[in-house]
Homo-oligomer: A and B are copies of this chain.
């Protein structure tokens, strides 16, 4: 994660892929196979994912990136008169350049606490719609979008997810989970939500590859077979169908072999743990507390500038004219020596 003297902790997508993935791409390179995800590698990957999710009937599709996967799945789930509920800090609410609206659907924003929505707020949004005598003039809440970990690096507990899922199911509302960084949730000691839990509680979700060790790729999982008919064509229509589908398939086959996906998460979480401890000891202020691979620190602008000379971090936001929130992210690629060097750089601000 270092290049020359500079340290790189800006994001979890700064390097190529986990070496095992590249190795597997090499081994399989000259094997001929059919396109569009109908190949044996993709089928093997699908089976491994079904098994990991305890969802033997699941439909699994491999897409390229997170925004794309969100747009495809949301467009497939919603009917024209419906919108998608999401935290006001949700990725689809803020950083997807209007991809959901491009597909014709409104994002119905919910309040958030630490990046999470509450079962109460989901229920209130649904109830408000149905109690409104003029609701035929209003976009119907048609599904719920959540992310695990959230955009703030926080986690839903199993209890929280169960409550939210309960509200959704009582109201016939599909629940969709964005798992762009799911590996880092699964590997987190504070986490009590497993892949089978997610598959049991959600109507659709995706297991992130791009930010969890793959060159690219996200695995969309629909636990109930046939729930989203003609999804293949919808994927094609969104320009999201890979001709060489195997390239995504091989990567996910590898990620779900020998627990690689979970090991990738663990490396990042352990590195983040060490950095977090050092930050605390040195008296840094956290913008908010996160248990996963993203750490958000509040810095004076001068400090941020000084630190940025040695360490590339991610810009998050300016809180006022003199303070900035910066993100430190670890990943599968974070090396112990980089963590040590980062900690050395973190003199008391």
Q: Are B64 and A136 in contact (CB under 8 A)?
A: no
Q: Inside 8 A of A105's CB, which chain B residues have their CB?
A: 98, 101
Residue of B nearest to A338 (CB): B32
Q: Say if the beta carbon of A230 comes within 8 Å of chain B.
A: yes
A210 to B315, CA, bound (A): 34
Chain B min CB distance to A42 (Å): 13
Q: Are B13 and A29 in contact (CB under 8 A)?
A: no
Question: Which one of B136, B139, B244 lies within 8 Å of A16 (CB-CB)?
Answer: B244
Q: Inside 8 A of A80's CB, which chain B residues have their CB?
A: 75-76, 102, 230, 234, 237
Q: Say if the beta carbon of A95 comes within 8 Å of chain B.
A: yes
Residue of B nearest to A317 (CB): B132
Interface residues on A, range: 35 or more
Q: Are A239 and B67 in contact (CB under 8 A)?
A: yes
Q: Are A97 and B31 in contact (CB under 8 A)?
A: no
Q: Inside 8 A of A308's CB, which chain B residues have their CB?
A: none
What 0/1 pattern do residues 19 to 57 of A give for CB contact below 8 A with B? 100100110111111110000000000000000000000
Chain B min CB distance to A290 (Å): 19
Q: Are B133 and A315 in contact (CB under 8 A)?
A: yes
A66 to B48, CA, bound (A): 29
* Given known A-B contacts A2-B32, A104-B104, A138-B95, A13 and B244 have beta carbons under 8 A apart: yes
Q: Are B239 and A98 in contact (CB under 8 A)?
A: no
Q: Which of A3-11, A113-121, A193-201, A257-265 contacts B (4 or more CB under 8 A)?
A: A3-11
A66 to B137, CA, bound (A): 13
Q: Inside 8 A of A71's CB, which chain B residues have their CB?
A: 239
Give the residues from 95 to 151 in chain A that come closer than 8 angstroms, CB to CB, to chain B. 95-107, 131-134, 136-140
A80 to B102, CA, bound (A): 8
* Given known A-B contacts A68-B240, A242-B65, A10 and B34 have beta carbons under 8 A apart: yes
Q: Inside 8 A of A233's CB, which chain B residues have their CB?
A: 81, 97, 136-137, 140
A8 to B104, CA, bound (A): 37
8 A-B residue pairings within 8 Å (CB atoms)? A3-B33, A13-B243, A14-B33, A16-B29, A22-B29, A65-B243, A101-B105, A215-B244
